[in-house]
Structure 1
Amino acid sequence: MFGIGGGELLFIIFIALMLFGTDKIPEFARTFGKFMANLKSTTNEIKYEIQKSAQTEDLTKSMNSLTDSFTREVEEVKESVAPGGIIDLNENALLEDPLQPVKAIEEDIESLTGPIKRKR
């Protein structure tokens, strides 16, 4: 304990008894005990705050990596949907019939089949 042996500890106790007397020693011990309890409590609070801060930092890092990952995925989808990554959202494109490409393919098939028709 602090590099103090048994003989040295007895010597310190003897000197304390000689200086302060037997009346003051219990009072000093109580005060020292309260001080140590307060010190331990304060130390535990500081440890808790540091751990809480570390957990918050880890959570922040996790959220940032998740957000970055999500952003990359969204950018990849945007690039795959429109050439050059630019999506044309003008009014004319929004008002056009969404089935127009299907109808164009149907007309091509009709023109290829010509007079041959299926009977239903």
Structure 2
Amino acid sequence: MILQPTFLFISGAEIAFILFIVVMVFGADKIPEIARGLGKGMRVLKDATNDIKSEITKSAEKNGIDADLTKGIKDEIKKVKDDFDDFTGSVKRKL
């Protein structure tokens, strides 16, 4: 069975068709301008998200609340991953 890489469950031909439609609708000269606008928008959104995250962290530290809620989850994921690696290692050795 041959697996083809896909992006968001869209094949290469479908991506090419979407790009063709975008070029037909907006024109080749407008695409860089649109891409720049989207990039700036994504950057502003990322900066706003980081600002909110840092404000929440500062406020939590100021009030004595443990801000690292994901530490326990990360530890559990690492433990499961290590257990899985141990299991697959023993299976690989037997093959």
What TM-score, normalized to structure 1?
A: 0.44
Which position in structure 2 is the counterpart of 1:52? 58
Residue 37 (structure 2) pairs with residue 28 (structure 1): no
Alpha-carbon distance change, 14 to 50 in structure 1, aligned in 2, over 3 angstroms: same
- Aligned positions of 1:56-67 closer than 5 A: 56-58=62-64
Cα drift, residue 3 of structure 1: 4.3
**Is 1:40 matched up with 2:46?**
yes
Cα gap change, 1:54/1:5 in structure 2, threshold over 3 Å: closer, same or farther? farther
| Structure 1: 5+ residue stretches without partners | 60-120
Where in structure 2 are there 5+ consecutive unaligned residues?
A: 1-6, 66-95
More helix as a share of residues: 1
Query: Could you give the per-residue CA deviations for residues 58-113 of structure 1, whole angstroms, max 9, x where no partner exists?
Result: 17xxxxxxxxxxxxxxxxxxxxxxxxxxxxxxxxxxxxxxxxxxxxxxxxxxxxxx
Runs of 4 or more, structure 1, over 6 Å off, are none
TM norm structure 2: 0.54
SS at match of 1:22: coil
Higher gyration radius (CA): 1
Q: CA deviation at 1:49?
A: 0.7
Residue of structure 2 in register with 1:93 after alignment: none
% same residue: 53
**When the two structures are aligned, how many residues end up with a matched partner?**
59
